[in-house]
Structure 1
Amino acid sequence: MGNTSLALGVDDTHQVATRKAMARLLPLLCLIYFMSYVDRTNVSLAKAHLAADLGIGAAAYGLGAGIFFLGYALLEVPSNLLAHRIGPRPWIARIAVTWGALSAAMMFVQGTTSFYVLRVLLGIAEAGLFPALMYMVTLWFAPKDRAVAVGWIYTAPALGLLVGNPLGGALMQLDGLGGLRGWQWMFVLEGLPTILVGVLLYFKLPERPRDARWLSPAEAAALERRAVLEADPHSHLSSQDWTAAIRRPSTVLMGLIYFLNQVAFVGLVFFTPAMIQQMKDTTPFQVGLMSSSVGLGFLLGVLVLPRIHRRVKSDFVFLGVLMAGLLASAWAFIATGSQGVQMALFVATAFFAGGVLPSYWAIAMKRLQGIQAAAGLAFINTIGLLGGFVGPYLFGMAESATGRSAAGFSVVMGAAALGLLLVPLLAKASRGDQPAAQAGGGAAPVVGPAS
């Protein structure tokens, strides 16, 4: 009886501590991810103006938009290993300051070469941010709470599109002020605040529960015990330890499905303003406002789908259903000629393509922890980010070939169909994985048993 009471007391302490972490830690993680999405996607609003002012055509724009992800992808694993060694707080702050400066420097673009160079440097500067955020989730939250935590983090990029597009469109209307073009004002006024956010995080972001002043010692201990931390957070980085995670077939397949998702979703994000501009004769602010439909669908997806996922027994049936939904929404967009229906389908496509993202990471984190989580999550993100390069490039090629930005929805259809074919292979490969150890008497898995 005494042991039962003690267990209940520990569970109550952990629940209270988890609620505090959700309320105090997640807003800081969301803030930096919000800024990253605003700064990496605001170029989509400048597409037509870069073509008119600097002669950067659709194919060149698509390459420049996507090339951001090359430097980002290639440095994901080493960046996150450094975050593991140095600590997430100073590393995330460093990332924010350097990418904010480079985002503001986009105002100096003079042509295709400088456009490509600054986009590559921006990707290099931001490399490691997202897996570092996911690594922090593994340090703070029990497996059963991670899907919801990641879902809240994903509200940040959704809001980045929902709020950032109208804001960027409004800043574009400063055209001519001080002798600068509207797109130059947008880049500088959205880049400089990121530097300030990076400084704020350096002083305010606690790395681990034990560092948080707003947690009692008992609450911090409960969080760390359930999160299954390594005994020494700065232990030697053995290659045998971290390479085991990236050699797993399930890790590779997860990365490939994420790659296809990013081909579809990143292409959609970077080309939605151009599609809307071709549909309607609108001002930059109106384009930004209507482009936020993608952000609305994304936001609805990350708020609704993780909560459904927690009640579904099979991770992989759930992934398959969402892939089928993405395929159906892309087909419907191509099939209809109604602009009103197409606006609704922007929302639906983003709902499936963006809303599935927390589930990818929740499934991956179920079997990764410690140094393997740092390396494995970064490796999955590396493969996915290559899709972020390929997607805009394919969208740009489709527009160049047809003269219509909306032709990119054929790319969404192809990526969704291939992803749907890979889900059964992922289910089969995952059956041989050993779930990550769970402390505290067996915390529940993130989203239910793998099928």
Structure 2
Amino acid sequence: MHIGRYLGFLLIVWGSVLAATAASQNFSQLAAMRFLLGFSEAGVYPCLILLVSTMYRRSEQTMRLGAFWLCNGISLAIGGVISYGIGHLHDVAGLRGWQWLMLILGCVTVLVGTITFFFLIDDPRSLRWHHNAEEQILVEERIRDNAVVRNSKVNYDHIREALREPRFWCFCLISFLANMQNGALTTYSATITAGFGFDKFQAIILQAPTGLVDCLYILVAAYVSQRTGQTIYVGCVCLLGTATGLLLLELIPVDRLKLIGLYFCWGYAAAYVMLIASVSSNVSGYTKKIFYNGMSMIFYTAGNFVGPFLMMSSRKHFLGGMIGYIVADFLAIGLFLYARWGMVKVNRKRLADPAPEPTNVEDDLTDVQDHNFIYRM
């Protein structure tokens, strides 16, 4: 199945499950629907990452991936406002506010999925582009640059090679560590805000700035990475920003001013964008790239699952959880730098002793097998 069709199908299922969640009558039903929601959602990000890595040059991918995650920040910013408004639809047509929220967002998602299924062009060589001869030359050059040619065969040698790489495990662990706080902050952000002396609806509306800060982090990170060519260093700085926010959240003495620290915490999202950009531009071989992306998403999900359990509600301002996330951020920074060091070392060897012949991208070589492949830092 084409990526565009598969992505559209996932979005339609996702929206349908979300809308159907409004019919839940108890916790068991809600939990079951939430499981199905996660099941349909899980494949969306890998599809988007694969689309970017096959449609754009390596030098262009960071900005495009940043655009996807920027939309997360925008939705977080306007989602709080929308939720605030829909929350006042209580008992309209016999439905509660949260049921209206599920129905409205679910129907919109189904609409987007339908458009995606029929109209998304997912192949640079697609005849729907109507390329002329000169444009076709540019397309082939783009394909050679991103070193990805799609095929339907699973190459198990690519998977075995990935599992032997320290970089693979570094990236997986970074995905886990950096997103522990994502699961926690997404779940507890309104609760933390309410603990600063705000009422329920004020706490909801005050989530809007978190989305704006998220967008700002991603915009700045993507821009700096694009201009400097430094992806991993930018990711490290974003994680330092997150750790600083967590410290401020605990150290600022005035409760309402602690919002400053809470807003600073969202740098981990930009760091994750830098991670997937590094995977996208530094892993070649179609099966290997898919495996990297898939495993990164599994560790991303695991981090989101484990993170909320660190929140110690019995302690003031969730101190235990905050300390855990700070430690996780610094561990992720160390892993980032170690992975970068390994790629720099390989680049030096390849530049000192270049391969005698150009690579044929149709051979589907991995970044380890292709001695012409130079990692982007």
Q: Is the 8 A contact 1:334 1:410 kept in 2?
A: no
- Aligned match of 1:420: 333
Deviation per residue, 1:418-443 (Å, 9 max, x gap): 223333332344346679x797xxx9
Match of 2:50 in 1: 135
Instruction: Give, in angstroms, the shift of residue 279 of structure 1.
Output: 2.3
**1:32 matched residue in structure 2:** none
Deviations 1:201-246 (A, max 9, x none): 1111001123274563333541343233779633422222344334
Larger helix share, 1 or 2:
1
Match for residue 366 of structure 1?
A: 281
Contact 2:250 2:317 in 1 (8 A): no
- Say whether the 8 Å CA contact 1:293–1:343 is kept in structure 2: no
Deviations 1:365-400 (A, max 9, x none): 2221323212211111211221011112333xx22x
Offset at residue 280 of structure 1 (A): 3.5
Unaligned runs of 5+ in 2: 351-358, 362-371
Q: Provide the residue aligned with 1:7 in structure 2.
A: none
Among 178, 182, 202, the alignment partner of 1:265 is 182
For 2:247, the equivalent position in structure 1 comes to 331
Q: Please, which of 207, 225, 228 is the counterpart of residue 291 of structure 1?
A: 207
Residue identity over aligned pairs, in percent, reads 19
Amino acid at match of 1:90: R
Counterpart in the other structure of 1:175: 90
CA contact (8 A) 1:143 1:444 kept: no
Amino acid paired to 1:268: L
Q: What pairs with 1:69-218 in structure 2 (closer than 5 Å)?
A: 86-211=1-126, 213=128, 216-217=131-132, 218=134
Give the RMSD, CA atoms, in angstroms. 2.9
Q: Distance in 1 between matches of 2:272 and 2:310?
A: 21
Q: Contact 2:70 / 2:215 at 8 angstroms: preserved in 1?
A: yes
Question: Kindly tell me: are residues 341 and 355 of structure 1, through their superposed partners in 2, closer, same or farther at Cα, counting changes over 3 Å?
Answer: farther
Task: Answer whether contact 1:169 1:287 (CA < 8 A) is retained.
Answer: no
Moved more, 142-151 or 119-128: 119-128
Deviation at 1:126, TM superposition (A): 1.5
Q: Note if contact 1:92-1:132 (Cα within 8 Å) is conserved in structure 2.
A: yes
Alpha-carbon distance in 1 for matches of 2:127, 2:207: 39
Q: TM-score scaled by structure 2?
A: 0.84
Change (3 A) 1:289 1:98: same
Q: In the aligned structure 2, how far is the partner of 1:254 from the partner of 1:404?
A: 30
Q: 1:198 to 1:255 in 2, by over 3 A?
A: same
| Aligned mates of 1:406, 1:188 — CA distance in 2 | 37
TM alignment of 1:306-385, pairs within 5 A: 306-312=222-228, 315-350=231-266, 352-369=267-284, 370-385=286-301
CA gap of 1:314–1:137, structure 2 versus 1, over 3 A, is: closer
Deviation for aligned residue 1:99: 1.0
- Closer, same or farther: CA 243–103 of 1 in aligned 2, 3 Å: farther
**How far apart, in 2, do the equivalents of 1:407 and 1:178 lie?**
44
Q: CA deviation at 1:405?
A: 5.9
> Following TM superposition, by how much is the alpha carbon of 1:136 offset from its aligned partner in structure 2, in angstroms?
0.5
Count of aligned positions: 355
**SS of the residue 2:206 aligns to:** helix
For residues 433 and 190 of structure 1, do their structure 2 counterparts lie closer, same or farther at Cα, with a shift above 3 Å needed? farther
- 2:195 maps to 278
Residue 340 (structure 1) shift: 4.6
Q: Displacement of 1:411 after TM fit?
A: 3.8
> Larger deviation: 207-216 or 383-392?
207-216
Q: Which residue of the partner structure matches residue 368 of structure 2?
A: none
Question: Quick one: distance in 2 between partners of 1:422 and 1:252?
Answer: 9
In structure 2, give the amino acid aligned to 1:259: F
Q: Which whole-Å deviations, capped at 9, do the CAs of 1:342-373 have from their partners, x for residues lacking one?
A: 222232211x2122222111211222132321
| TM-score, reference length from structure 1 | 0.71
Post-superposition CA distance 1:94-139 (Å, at most 9, x none): 1101111111222233343323222211111112110110101111
> Gapped runs of 5+ residues in structure 1?
1-85
Alignment-mate amino acid for residue 410 of structure 1: I
When residues 212 and 241 of structure 1 are mapped into structure 2, their CA distance, relative to the original with a 3 A threshold, is same
Q: Distance in 1 between matches of 2:222 and 2:333?
A: 19
